[in-house]
Structure 1
């Protein structure tokens, strides 16, 4: 059952006194009330609801994410180190609603939970939510290059793309890019607009749309943000789960894979998390192994032609990925002030890579 605070009837009660920790003050009062109640609902008298500890998780670039832990207790699921006495608090980033509809994102989150994907929703408050804490390991940048883990991701991504999600199944990519471009133009100074060549991007988006929309390709429910921090692995079972569906929508599956390949250039837990190293973009043999695993995971036996066709599409959609996240970086630099991240410099690198690779990439064959 979802735990949601009821609307106050009269004056709101003061939040319960709770143990202070380094990140405690970042958790809103409404969230603290829900946490206090959840502790009792989930673990009963086994924990002291006020004895929570709050720690901020690094690597998030859209929201602030906190792990909430209750110590101590006896048997049951919380036995031992108390790994099950944890939940996640997600505080939405400032202004990020320009990127997606929050109500749609919450519906997606709940639907994914019903499909057995990702964490359960435990509670909501005005600027965030509380989620089940998944007792699995979040991947690192290096994990994406591990052959076994990469194979697991490919299989999971095919399963994700095959999900029967409600609502329209229209491709969202091109409309989203055009909307974000207008948003970026409205927020940038003339100097910023010149720096990022925003006056040219409308034509670039139209060109890619025309070049890619007329080819034979598969559309599925795409994650659209498959960086390593949104992938978790259960070490004992070697199962992979995908989390954080804020940008998820129906799109060409080649775009989702292209975006995942681009994310192999990033390390968001380094001393310079905004810096990308595009020499780490996977080579053609690594790409081919991923695509072959992806296509064959549903029991099919893909032909060489099918593999090469998808590889060609992925190469072209990498260009769309650069524009997508370049525009995201520009807008985020203007609206999201709570996250310590060099959004503008990140955007510059994505656009530089677009212009650097455009001519060679569009010369490749996808049919």
Structure 2
């Protein structure tokens, strides 16, 4: 291991991380033999670098494993890390996700979830998809501290300002950043309506942030950097958009909109989501939420398009952020011409 990623030289752990691991091991009654410490980089993350660190314990054939998250460069432009840690701890207290084991200047150590991270194809498995829908509903029912106002529009405007400051004149022109404020204003006006339900959403339900225990068929949602209060339809839209991505290929930035879920698949997911609380939804309820989610894909494309532009300038993870942004913005303009008429008919 000899690759430097975001200030973390693999094979040479940061001193503060090493102290934290030794402290955790001591509390658990373990002894860390540096010669037997195993560090594995986990691929697929695009905001942070994530590592699995393991060492043998005093018990024969027993291995202690933790997850180490090294914060990506420039992530403070996307969210407040202190707020994210508070969210992480609160969700953990509710019995969701991993426990926070400790922090150090470059990142944190988390409980390692002994479950399988989903693959891109898993999102299209009807059985797994139904489990995700039910877990999403459970997640949305969490009561989190702080304001319950919609964060989406504020965050998009903040990111737009950051993108304008960072972008070259050529990129600013290419992505139409000067006209983007008007697009965000229009979307907020057209998509927001009084009867939409606001929940604590994950907002980044790509397959890599979903784990399954195949013995118990239980789903765990992880990585809450972008979690906040938003309309249900937005979180659904985000999940549907993530079905076109596969971040574990030679070209992880390429999105295949030819496999975007069709109406039947989206309706099936929405029906399972709504029925997981024990009440069978009407076809009208399913249709309404599915339609709202489809409209919110427009906001989702702008959201992650802006994220891609900013990331291209501040993050050095091996991912073509600008090409990713191009695809999201292209899809926005393509779908806007199709969805705008229905947008204007919203109450």
Shared fold (TM-score greater than 0.5)? Answer: yes
Matched, 1:104 2:89: no
Question: 8 Å contact 1:172–1:251 — kept in the other structure?
Answer: yes
Who is 1:56 aligned against? 41
Cα distance, 1:90 vs. partner?
A: 0.5
Distance 1:141 1:28 in 2: 33
Cα distance, 1:73 vs. partner?
A: 4.0
Cα distance, 1:168 vs. partner?
A: 0.7
Who is 1:69 aligned against? 54
Question: 8 Å contact 1:217–1:252 — kept in the other structure?
Answer: yes
Distance 2:243 2:341 in 1: 23
Question: 8 Å contact 1:21–1:55 — kept in the other structure?
Answer: no
Question: How do 1:128-139 residues align onto structure 2 when only pairs under 5 Å count?
Answer: 128-139=107-118
Cα distance, 1:49 vs. partner?
A: 6.2
Who is 1:27 aligned against? 13
Question: 8 Å contact 2:190–2:346 — kept in the other structure?
Answer: no
**Long gaps (5+) in structure 1:** 1-19
Who is 1:189 aligned against? 168
Deviations 1:219-239 (A, max 9, x none): 100001110000000110000
Question: How do 1:193-208 residues align onto structure 2 when only pairs under 5 Å count?
Answer: 193-208=172-187
SS at match of 1:159: helix
Change (3 A) 1:313 1:215: farther
Who is 2:27 aligned against? 41
Question: How do 1:226-245 residues align onto structure 2 when only pairs under 5 Å count?
Answer: 226-245=205-224
TM-score (norm 2): 0.94
TM-score (norm 1): 0.89
Distance 2:51 2:277 in 1: 36
SS at match of 2:184: helix
Matched, 1:161 2:146: no
Distance 1:277 1:21 in 2: 33
Change (3 A) 1:211 1:342: same
Cα distance, 1:44 vs. partner?
A: 3.0
**Long gaps (5+) in structure 2:** 4-8
Change (3 A) 1:355 1:52: same
Who is 2:189 aligned against? 210
Who is 1:291 aligned against? 270
Cα distance, 1:242 vs. partner?
A: 0.3
Question: 8 Å contact 2:301–2:332 — kept in the other structure?
Answer: yes
Cα distance, 1:199 vs. partner?
A: 1.4
Distance 2:303 2:92 in 1: 27
Question: 8 Å contact 2:115–2:214 — kept in the other structure?
Answer: yes
Cα distance, 1:362 vs. partner?
A: 2.4
Change (3 A) 1:26 1:166: farther
